[in-house]
Structure 1
Amino acid sequence: MMPTALKRLTSALLLALWSLAASGEETLHLHAESGTGQTPLVIGAALDLHQARPLLEDFHRRHPHLDITYRNLTTLELHQRFLDAPDAADVVLSSAMPWQYRLANDGHAQPLDSDIAHAWPAWARWRHELFAFTFEPIVMVVHRDFTERFGELESHGDLLERLADHPRALAGRVVTYDPQRSGAGYTYAIEESRLSPRYWDLVAVLGQARTALAETTGEMLEGLASGRYLVGYNLLGSYVRDAVADHPELTIVVPEDYALVVQRLAFIPRQAPHPEAARLFLDYLLGETGQRTIAERTQLGAVHPDLEGPGTAAALREKLGDALRPIALGPGLLATLDDLKREALLTRWQREFDREGPAFR
């Protein structure tokens, strides 16, 4: 067994490597209370700090002996940095469902053997290694100026129609994810191409309207809030709600024909340097206490089956019914990352996006 001093040195070196890799990224450090043992807990995540902070602070109050380091990266950066240093983080959280599933499927996750984990809904976990702990619809954001000029948007069909009818007036005034640069954007693209027979028509009119392509929801929201864009397509709803609350000229639209739902997936790496601390945190995320914090203090959407009311998956299902289309947590996610399929999807996406419409000939 590794001597205690060497364990501590190894943990410090791993944390230093993770810190160096994540240089310049959003970070939160919650120090352990003095005299409590100061056990480290390193969390690598693709979850903005303003959403994660209520969870981290509530958890830390309950476990003050933990010295928590939280690092927020983009989804693809998080994935790559985990592959570069699979023994640097104790917990990995991300909404990039295919990438998280592949890591677990490739043997990078260890099981969570707890009563809470065993009671978790089967549709929200894979084995006992990968757990969905949020329920987040993908939405459109519409500026008041768009509604006044072109009418309300209520569905993907409405967006397709408006873009086809007004490509010049809307040129450069719409924004969406770039599937080449964004893991989230690519995931939504492949899911929608399976779901909607008119998806490729929509991509074509987005291109004809010279739609701006972004890497993050934050980048899109900044342009919407400034008035540079009038419509944001396929934004992560959990990130949108706070921003829209501060900008009354913006409205969230959950499309009535269908709305994809993504879930943030969490796992404990097989080589986690502090597995006991990791198990405490994951049990908190899945337990009723952590899930209630998600429902009441974030916009992430709680999954826990015993929770109802605002901020829960149950409330969204009651309101939107069959329009909600959660991305399934299962082997189908691996097909999303098949190199040939990925290349084919992105090639077609670019071809349709670059197709010149009648208004620009």
Structure 2
Amino acid sequence: MRLGVATLLLWLCTAPLAAAQDLHYPARPQPNQATGQLVIHGALDLVHVRPLLAAFHRRYPGIELTYRNLDTLPLHERFLAAPDEVDVLISSAMPWQYRLANDGHAQPLDAAVAAAWPDWARWRQELFAFTFEPVVMVVRRELIDRFGRPESHADLLTLLQRHGTALAGRVVTYDPSRSGAGYTYAIEESRLSPRYWDLVAALGQAEASLVDTTGEMLAGLAEGRYWLGYNLLGSYAHRVVERDPALEMVIPDDYALVTQRLALIPRRAPHPRSARRFLEYLIGLEGQRVIAEQTALGAIHPALDGPGTADRLRATHGEALRPLALGPGLLATLDDLKRQALLARWRREFSRGGEAGE
């Protein structure tokens, strides 16, 4: 497999680089309570991670906790440069997290909760998915009132083919050449759907705007510049849609990709005991309940089946949900030759749609 610096930069740059944001919880030692230090680096926004960290610190007040919020690229590069400075590594860049574990950078979690974790959500006992985040569409009321609400990829394709001219400039999605998330979704959809390339052409026909992040899509949708956003990260979209009556979130009923945050304990973690406590909490019932009740990330724990859980989503969307498989197939997204071939076809089909719409 050929891997290059260009792949690293293009796959991981899913958002404009931002200054690191830290959260710090000083130790408050209690009698007969665990003490120590814990350093976590995560590509997970503070609004989502703060409830988890606060609950963990209440459980273990004697552990001094530092969380550094980093974009996926600086998080990965910083770890490779200093693999002994962090105790837990969390990232949504699934192929790179898998590669770190596969290359021997992760240590196993020898605990009952790890052994009982669902097979589809872990690799060995070294890499753990702890969230369940569908990839969604977001539509404005103006589109629904005029054209109806698309419930599936098939509906979306029909909508764009019939009304591409009327929707010109009103549709937004990822640019797979600049967005790691967009590129990953393109690979998965091209495998899942025989009509995927027709959909790419229809996006071109509608002169869809191509952006780098879910945040950019949500901003344009909230402002009314776009009427339809395609392939947004549902955990981020949920919070915006919940507060804006002009927007609706659609989990497609034919298929919906599901991405996950992956956590690992580095082999050279400076505080392994604290790291193990945190990871056990993260995939344990207590931490997963916090995810379900206080975030939009989606809890995986099989004992939880209420709102905010994978089981509830499966109950309402069934086999349409397609989690990205946690296994060697993830490494295919890091192959330069495959990447170049897919992007060349994506550009060709998108341009073909644009020419057809002229």
Q: TM-score if structure 2 supplies the norm length?
A: 0.90
Query: Which of 290, 297, 302 is equivalent to 2:299?
Result: 302
Letter in 2 for 1:69: T
The 5-angstrom pairing of residues 146-225 of structure 1 reads 146-225=143-222
- 1:147-185 Cα shifts (integer Å, max 9, x gaps): 112221111111111112222222221111222222211
- Root-mean-square deviation (CA, aligned residues, Å) is 1.9
Offset at residue 67 of structure 1 (A): 2.1
Change (3 A) 1:235 1:356: closer
Offset at residue 34 of structure 1 (A): 6.6
Aligned to 2:138: 141
Q: State the distance in 1 between where 2:216 and 2:35 align.
A: 37
Q: State the distance in 1 between where 2:237 and 2:185 align.
A: 17
Is 1:336 the counterpart of 2:338? The answer is: no
Answer yes or no: is the 8 Å Cα contact 1:301–1:312 preserved in 2.
Answer: yes
Q: State the distance in 2 between where 1:154 and 1:271 align.
A: 47
Answer yes or no: is the 8 Å Cα contact 2:206–2:354 preserved in 1.
Answer: no
Offset at residue 38 of structure 1 (A): 6.8
- 1:117-171 Cα shifts (integer Å, max 9, x gaps): 1111111110010001111111100000111122211111111111122222222
Q: State the distance in 2 between where 1:197 and 1:77 align.
A: 36
The 5-angstrom pairing of residues 1-361 of structure 1 reads 24-33=19-28, 39-357=36-354, 359-361=356-358
Letter in 2 for 1:33: R
Q: State the distance in 1 between where 2:158 and 2:73 align.
A: 33
Higher mean C-alpha displacement, 102-111 vs 76-85:
76-85
Answer yes or no: is the 8 Å Cα contact 1:174–1:232 preserved in 2.
Answer: yes
Q: State the distance in 1 between where 2:27 and 2:172 align.
A: 43
Q: State the distance in 2 between where 1:154 and 1:319 align.
A: 14
The number of residues matched between the two structures is 340
Aligned to 1:7: none
Letter in 2 for 1:191: E
- 1:189-238 Cα shifts (integer Å, max 9, x gaps): 11111000111111112122221222221221111111111111111111
- 1:3-61 Cα shifts (integer Å, max 9, x gaps): xxxxxxxxxxxxxxxxxxx9713332222227899733221112111111110110011
Offset at residue 106 of structure 1 (A): 1.0
Q: Which runs of 5+ in 1 are unaligned?
A: 1-21
Q: Which runs of 5+ in 2 are unaligned?
A: 1-16
Q: State the distance in 1 between where 2:77 and 2:312 align.
A: 35
